[in-house]
Amino acid sequence: MNLTIIGSGYVGLVTGACLADIGNDVFCLDVDARKIELLNQGVVPIHEPGLQEIIERNRRARRLTFSTDVEAAVAHGDVQFIAVGTPPDEDGSADLQYVLAAARNIGRHMKGFKVVVDKSTVPVGTAALVHDAIASELRKRGESHMFSVVSNPEFLKEGAAVEDFARPDRIVLGCNDDVPGERAREVMKRLYAPFNRNHERTLYMDVHSAEFTKYAANAMLATRISFMNELANLADRVGADIEAVRRGVGSDPRIGYDFLYAGCGYGGSCFPKDVKALMRTAEDFGEPLQILRAVESVNEAQKQVLAQKIVTRFGSDLAGRTFGVWGLAFKPNTDDMREAPSRTLIAELLARGASVKAYDPVATDEAKRVLALDLARAPEQQTRLSFVHDAMEAASGADAVVVATEWKVFKAPDFDALKSHLKMPIVFDGRNLYDPHALQELGIEYHAVGRASATQASRARAEVAATQALA
């Protein structure tokens, strides 16, 4: 099939590359000429495992084209995927200006039947706005070409997006029940047939329900994270180990283990933005979502948890202290710094007078750009932030190491080497990567999230062992 992807950002690139990889002829459009130039040179502007190889393979096979030519893009695709950004507006609602601009361009240039697919995450009712925008442009031209707007939200996890697209757990399609809608449904059924060979993964529903499903899914996952983070903070107070609690709770098949890991808060391009947008939609319809309001509040507070633990240990004035920060991206296997908890941590440490040596296996360049903007009004603080080339360099001469992202490279470090690099053997773990008992036995002071009882038990065992040794 001939497909057009409007928007060559994260969702657009993954969608276009993966659809080309199963044999479709895909035209990727973007208004950013520099981005298109880089893509045509084989440079992928985002980090996503496996994506570079798929793009290069399909460029060579001439199944994947990158261009800024709007008219050519509309002419190419029988199916037009809108995969542009929907950033949060000042009131938290999704900004639809790029979605509607794409729709108007389709209406200006289409010359026959088109299936227009909303792939961007958009609030309920957006398909109708897209339809009206296209119809308005057709009327201006005196044309009446048939088309249908379909909602086909993405469910891609950053860091595993290629795998998620290739082996989806579900494909949500919202189609109208009129004649164009039925025709669009058959087109989309044919397009996604290769993903349904083992068993049917497509869930057909009305357009409003499909639009709602994406927000509901992300809101549910964000809720699980914030709930566990609140429990972790309480566990620290009452002397429980949140990891033991997680295993006990997750073993219930009605609950499961996914998204029950306590830590220093969620970030990225989806959860924060989508929670805000769904809350705004609810307010517009007079049905405020109290639980989601709490989810957002808990997450914002949780991003402060590591800095609070550091202040409790070292005092509020951190002048003269140095901290090595391991991990900058909001999650592993991506260079995405949007809403990353590391940004809150670093800003707080610098504001209290500390110096920071930061390391991330992938996100350093993006972190430099983003943190420069965060600290634009504090040039003196910028001088106390440096970026290094490996984890031990970040630890060298530091008062403590702080783990902010759970990259694999941080999961089993050489702790003896780490102790030799640090001024004091102290680790603040915002992702609960390590066994408190093992670190205690190595002589490392360990501060995690919701693991007070585990740390206390380690210290007690160490004291008993020391007493027995003296005896």
Could you give the residue numbers annotated as active site?
A: 270
30 marked among binding-site residues: yes
Q: Was 410 annotated as part of a binding site?
A: no
The reply to whether 86 sits in an annotated binding site is: yes
State the Cα–Cα distance between residues 185 and 204, nearest whole angstrom.
9
Q: Could you give the residue ranges of the DSSP H alpha helices within 158-252?
A: 161-166, 179-191, 207-238, 242-250
The CB-based long-range contact list for 30-37 (8 Å cut-off, 24+ gap) reads 30/66, 30/68, 31/68, 32/8, 32/68, 33/68, 35/8, 36/8, 36/66, 36/67, 36/68
Is 157 annotated to bind a ligand? Reply is yes
CA 98 – CA 75 distance, rounded (Å):
20
Q: Per the annotation, does 155 bind a ligand?
A: yes
Is position 158 annotated in a ligand binding site? yes
Nearest-10 crossing angle of helices 207-238, 290-302: 50
Q: CA angle 465-470-471, nearest 5°? A: 95
Burial call 81-100: b when 16+ CB within 10 Å, e when fewer: bbbbbbebeeebbbebebbb
- The reply to whether 287 sits in an annotated binding site is no
- Report the C-alpha gap between 135 and 220 in whole angstroms: 35
What residues contact 24, with CB distance under 8 A and at least 6 apart?
A: 1, 2, 3, 63, 191
Establish whether 121 is an annotated binding residue. Answer: yes
The answer to the question of whether 177 is labelled as a binding residue is no
| CA angle at 235 for the pair 234 and 236, rounded to the nearest 5° | 90
| 260 marked ligand binding residue | yes
Please indicate if the annotation marks 368 as binding a ligand: no
Amino acid present at 37? E
Residues 334, 363: Cα–Cα separation, whole Å: 7
Q: Would the annotation count 273 as a binding residue?
A: yes
Residues in binding site for NAD(+): 30, 35, 86, 121, 158, 273, 338
Residues in binding site: 30, 35, 86, 121, 155-158, 214, 259-263, 267, 273, 331, 338
Residues in binding site for substrate: 155-158, 214, 259-263, 267, 331
